[in-house]
Amino acid sequence: MNSLALFSSRRAAIAFILVLLLFFLLLDFFVTSSVRTRMLDDLQQRFNTELNTIGLFVREPLISSDYARVEQFLLKWADEDAGIVDMKAIMPNNFVLARYNRPELSSKTVYLEHRVRFLEKDLVTIILSRDVSGQELIIRNLRLKLAAGSIVITAFLGLVLWGMMKKTAFQPLQNELDRRKKDETVLREARDELEDRVRERTKELNSKHEALQKSEERFRSLVETTSDWIWEVNENAVYTYSSPRVREILGYAPGDVLGKRPFDLMPEDEARRVERIFRDIAASRKPFSWLENININKKGHNVYLETSGVPVFDDDGRFRGYRGIDRDITGRRESEKALRDSEERYRTLAEYSLFGIWQITPEGHTLFINPAMCRMLEIERADELTGVPYNSFFTEKSLETVKEEYRKRLAGKASQYEVELIGKKGRHLYVVLNGAPLMDAEGNLQSLIGTFVDITERRKTEQALKESEQYLRTIIETEPECVKVIAQDGTLVTMNPAGLAMIEADSLEQVAGKSLGHLLTPEYRERFHSLNQSVLSGNRENLEFEITGLKGGRRWLHMHAVPLRTAGGDIIGVLGVTKDITDKKKAEDKIRLSEEKFSKAFRSSPTFITISTLDEGTYIDVNDAFIQASGYTRAELVGHSALELGVWVNPSDRDEMLSRLREQGSVRNMETRLRMKNGEVVTVLYSAECMNIERRPCILSVKLDITGRKMLESQLLHAQKLEAVGQLAGGVAHDFNNVLTAIISNGYLLKGRLKGNDEAGALADRIITLSNNAARVVQELLLFSRKKKVEMSFVHINEVFRGVGTLLGDFMGRGIEITERYTDRHLYVMADRVQLEQVIINLATNARDAMPNGGRLTIETNLAVIDSTFIGKHGMGSQGTHVLLAVSDSGTGMDRATVERIFEPFFTTKEVGKGPGLGLSIVYGIIQQHRGFILVDSKPGQGTSFRIYLPLAEPGAGR
């Protein structure tokens, strides 16, 4: 009733306060809204005024087109007024004259726009965003204050009103309620206490009864189930109670023993001993325990019992006998005996064992040590160990090993391990230790026992062996040559790093157990196989072969292989030591190739190559080209010197060559002349190098025959000269011809006008005749210079000669015999027949003049094949089949200088007036125009022979 009223009155109070609070908050809201509106209005007003002022300010410069100033002013203004967030000045054409933007954007802005105008015309529009967050902040603060104030006022007013109401309306009711509640409480407490007491008493009684029952039962089952025999005797030591266990222990029923004395169940001696002891105990009426005695069970064999007892007194305190238990310890007795026997056996074993045996307590004190162990520790007797800690016999490292192994053993991993001991006298000993902890029945560590086997000698041997093996391994590993072992089946057993590098294997695993035969180039595989077989049958072998490495590299290797034998001498594999001889091979190949190249070059070179000694110039070797050109046989040259054979036309050239060789180490392109066996002289470019053959200084000389080239050069020079002269003459002749034509025509005109005056007419005739002569010379010059056109046709060469030949008889005059030798073949040339006839006549004229006292003129035609040899020899001509026309005389002949100039125009050896000296020039010109060439062979007193070669033409081929 009371709490309900309290609750409803509290609810009324809360509602009351809420209404009050709502009223105040609404009031706050209206107040702040009106303040805010007024503030913003004020601000807007101020900003507009400011903008108006700005507008007024920028109007003037805008009218006077001072835009830059306006822009600068606006930007500066915007920058300095921190309230401006964004400002834009927009011209009437929407061009933004100035733009300002403050990056720290505010969420609360007001937007303003002002248009600057002048005479009804827009000048600029300024658009502005202004930050009013400051004002908002003021409003917010105000609102917060009002809200806080409202809450405080509401709380205060509410509490005051509540207090007043409580005092006047609720207090009397409350007092009545309190009194009733107190009475009720007192009554309830009295009843509760009563109930509790009854409950407790009942519980107590129940539990006592139960305990009694349980105790009885426990005792009975204890007596029944215990393995011990429980008995009671009276003051005369006669059994008054026996538990059923006596049946199992002594074979009697409990009833059988009642009335008997314990001594009745023992052998006689034992009964006497026990009775005496028991009498003393009983006299003192003290409890006794663990009295050992032997009884005889019903079947007649001994049973060992352990007896304990306590005296029994009646209620009056009088001694009434003993109550106790007997425990059968026959099993324990027997096993103790067996243990003793076993211990004895082991002790004997330990005494005579060769192994050291050492038993220590967990604290490290020696329990047992056998003589072998004493020897190891260098002590005489076990008692020498007293006070000596066991660990003083171990090296520090060994101690750690021991501890480590002990931990492992506890974890179930037992092993033998090697440790180092130090004897009492300082001797170091290596032993194999096999240790074990000895535990008691509860699993507590009782002692530690270890057996020690001395392996010092073995260890030393092993160490020496290991060192020697390591030494050998180091040698093999660092050996720069490949060392490998191949098994009998041909597979690789092992290989050192140098070997792996040779076959380009990354590791031994990559190749071990495999045959390496496939790495060899096929032609060596068979030989490699038979080498292995031979070595396996006990021979030592060597082989050079080529391999392709696992990564494709090719190598030449040299392998020396010997049989690998066991200690017993059985061959178990091949031990091979292989050397990389690639570089050597390459060098050899290079030398061989170089020698071969040189030898081939030497033999086959068309230039003359000789090797001769430096001092005497004796030929050691000469090449085929030189043998062929010199006309000597190899035997005539080798072993003889060039000086001796007269090869040097000018022996001083050799001295010069030698001096150049000494100064410059080599001679290059020295021009010199050599004489061949037939006396012919050839011009060569001589180059030489020094070389040593079998430690003798020698000269390797190369001679390039340039005789042909020399001749060609001189012929070319000659032809060019004639060409030049011809062009010159031709040019002059042309002009001259025009002049002569004019003279001749004027001569005729003059002659016509001089009719009647014979003398003067004759003079005019003479002018005409002489001019015509001159014109003919000019024509001939033109012919020479090939400015005159020729009319080509197929011409049978013999016919031309025959035609002219008949004329020649009269022309040559008496005393000159003409021999004509024409070929039987029908040979044609493309030629101007008239001009060819001219050639023959001119040559015949020349021959006649050369034979003033008569002689023989020979004319012949033949077929001639011109090859490179011909061209090389004469320095002119073109390859192919030609027609040869030869005109030879037996006249006075010419010297070399004359021969060289005979084709030049106006060159003559005849007296003045015997012709202009154009005859042979014309011949030259005509033959040139016919793409032929002329050879002249002449010697003073031996006559002259002109040989003309014209290209052979095939009639029909061109038609």
Partner 1 sequence: MGEHGVATSSPTRCAGKSVNHGKIPGGTLAAARVLFLASVFVVCLGMESPAPAANPLIFAVHPYLPATEVLQRFSPLADYLGRYIGRPVRIRVSTSYEDHVALFGEGEADIAYMGSASYVKMVKRYGVRPLLARIQTYGTPTFQGIIIVRDESGLLVAKDLKGRRFAFGDPDSTMSCLVPMYMLREQGVALEDFASYKFLSNHGNVALGVLSGDFDAGAVREEIFYRYEKRGLRELLRTPPVSEYLFVADSSLLPDTVEILREALLGLAEKEEGHSVMKSLSSSITGMVPVQDRDYDDLRRILERMEWPGIAP
Q: Which residues bind partner 1 (CB under 8 A)?
A: 65-69, 71-72, 91-93, 95-97
Minimum distance of partner 1 from residue 73's CB (angstroms): 10
CA nearest 404: which of 392, 414, 390? 414
Is the CB of residue 251 less than 8 Å from the CB of residue 299?
A: yes
Query: Which residue number, 3 or 65, has a Cβ lying nearer to partner 1?
Result: 65
Q: In the chain, what is the greatest distance between 2 CA atoms, to the nearest angstrom?
A: 231
Cα–Cα distance for residue pair 140/134, rounded to 1 Å: 10
Strands lying side by side in the sheet with 302-313: 239-242, 229-234, 319-328, 302-313, 288-296
Cα–Cα distance for residue pair 577/854, rounded to 1 Å: 98
Minimum distance of partner 1 from residue 123's CB (angstroms): 10
Q: Strand locations in 168-296, DSSP E?
A: 229-234, 239-242, 288-296
Query: Which residue number, 120 or 315, has a Cβ lying nearer to partner 1?
Result: 120
Minimum distance of partner 1 from residue 74's CB (angstroms): 12
Query: Which residue number, 74 or 492, has a Cβ lying nearer to partner 1?
Result: 74
Query: Which residue number, 122 or 583, has a Cβ lying nearer to partner 1?
Result: 122
Query: Which residue number, 68 or 144, has a Cβ lying nearer to partner 1?
Result: 68
CA nearest 730: which of 804, 788, 646? 788
Minimum distance of partner 1 from residue 54's CB (angstroms): 17
Cα–Cα distance for residue pair 64/58, rounded to 1 Å: 10
Cα–Cα distance for residue pair 703/609, rounded to 1 Å: 6
Taking the CB of residue 176, how many other CB atoms lie within 10 A of it?
Answer: 11
Query: Which residue number, 93 or 236, has a Cβ lying nearer to partner 1?
Result: 93
Minimum distance of partner 1 from residue 52's CB (angstroms): 22
Query: Which residue number, 96 or 728, has a Cβ lying nearer to partner 1?
Result: 96
Backbone angles phi, psi at 816, to 5 degrees: -115, 125
Minimum distance of partner 1 from residue 126's CB (angstroms): 14
Place of tokens 């040869």: 884
Query: Which residue number, 76 or 597, has a Cβ lying nearer to partner 1?
Result: 76
Minimum distance of partner 1 from residue 81's CB (angstroms): 18
Minimum distance of partner 1 from residue 147's CB (angstroms): 51
DSSP for residue 449: E
Is the CB of residue 326 less than 8 Å from the CB of residue 307?
A: yes
Query: Which residue number, 66 or 837, has a Cβ lying nearer to partner 1?
Result: 66
Query: Which residue number, 124 or 847, has a Cβ lying nearer to partner 1?
Result: 124
Burial of 296 (0-12, 13-18, 19+ CB in 10 A): middle
User: Per 3-state DSSP, what percentage of the chain is helix, strand, and coil (rounded to 5)?
Assistant: 50, 25, 25
Minimum distance of partner 1 from residue 62's CB (angstroms): 9
Cα–Cα distance for residue pair 121/669, rounded to 1 Å: 104
Minimum distance of partner 1 from residue 134's CB (angstroms): 30
Cα–Cα distance for residue pair 377/352, rounded to 1 Å: 16
Query: Which residue number, 92 or 955, has a Cβ lying nearer to partner 1?
Result: 92
Query: Which residue number, 92 or 287, has a Cβ lying nearer to partner 1?
Result: 92
Cα–Cα distance for residue pair 722/726, rounded to 1 Å: 6
Minimum distance of partner 1 from residue 118's CB (angstroms): 13
HSE of 775 in the Cβ direction (CA atoms, 13 Å)?
Answer: 15
Query: Which residue number, 92 or 606, has a Cβ lying nearer to partner 1?
Result: 92
Query: Which residue number, 76 or 766, has a Cβ lying nearer to partner 1?
Result: 76
**Residues with Cβ < 8 Å from 223, sequence gap 6 or more?**
230, 243
The letter for the amino acid at 212 is L
Minimum distance of partner 1 from residue 144's CB (angstroms): 46
Minimum distance of partner 1 from residue 45's CB (angstroms): 30
**Residues with Cβ < 8 Å from 919, sequence gap 6 or more?**
842, 845, 846
Minimum distance of partner 1 from residue 130's CB (angstroms): 25
Query: Which residue number, 70 or 511, has a Cβ lying nearer to partner 1?
Result: 70
Q: Strand locations in 841-940, DSSP E?
A: 855-866, 880-889, 933-938
Cα–Cα distance for residue pair 311/322, rounded to 1 Å: 4
Minimum distance of partner 1 from residue 48's CB (angstroms): 24
Minimum distance of partner 1 from residue 124's CB (angstroms): 8
Convert 884-896 into a string of H (helix), E (strand) and C (coil): EEEEEECCCCCCH
Burial of 626 (0-12, 13-18, 19+ CB in 10 A): buried
> First-to-last CA distance in the chain?
158
Distances from the Cα of 576 to the Cαs of 312, 493, 528, 561, 570, in angstroms? Answer: 102, 11, 12, 4, 17
Query: Which residue number, 54 or 647, has a Cβ lying nearer to partner 1?
Result: 54
